[in-house]
Amino acid sequence: MNMIGKNISILYRQFNVFLSHELAGSELTANELMYLGSLYQKDGVTQDELAREFCIDKGATARCLQVMEKKDLIKRCGDGEDRRAKRIYLTEKGLDCKTLIEQIQQKWLSVCNSSMSESEMEIFSEQIDQIAKNLIRENS
């Protein structure tokens, strides 16, 4: 395995360990945090849009959203234009999680950025974003 693959694997595992630790004591899971973060940026997207955004199959997305709905974090509503589509909206309880999620994100970034300048982190962010786009394009 090349060093890039190894380091991506380490980042992924360490991020999951970090999230498990930070979310202990809350009712949120890492997957729910991911979807909530996306909904804070754009509320009212469809289930399919969320599945595509994170490259997760529709069934897994629907199951996670169903659990989130039971926890009253989101509500799923039919789309007036497409009967098959479900639009996802944050509830008051889902909105209340935003501060916690922002704190977790800030803590993670401060750990990751501890030895990098702001410009280095910005370049890294742009590069990893481009790599993700390349992989999505290649595999779609």
Tens digits of per-residue pLDDT, 25-48?
999 999 999 999 999 999 999 999
Q: Which pLDDT value is given to residue 84?
A: 81
81 lies in some domain: yes
35 lies in some domain: yes
Give the structural domain span for 31.
Answer: 13-139
Q: Which pLDDT value is given to residue 137?
A: 86
3 lies in some domain: no
Q: What is each CA distance from 112 to 14, 42, 44, 107, 121, in whole angstroms?
A: 11, 26, 31, 9, 9
The total of other beta-carbon atoms located within 10 Å of residue 74's CB is: 24
5 lies in some domain: no
Q: Which pLDDT value is given to residue 75?
A: 96
- The per-residue pLDDT for range 83-101, each reduced to its tens digit, is 788 899 999 999 999 999 9
Read off the CATH number of the domain in which 66 is found: 1.10.10.10
More confident residue, 1 or 138: 138
How many domains are contained in the chain? 1
pLDDT higher than threshold 70 for residue 1? no
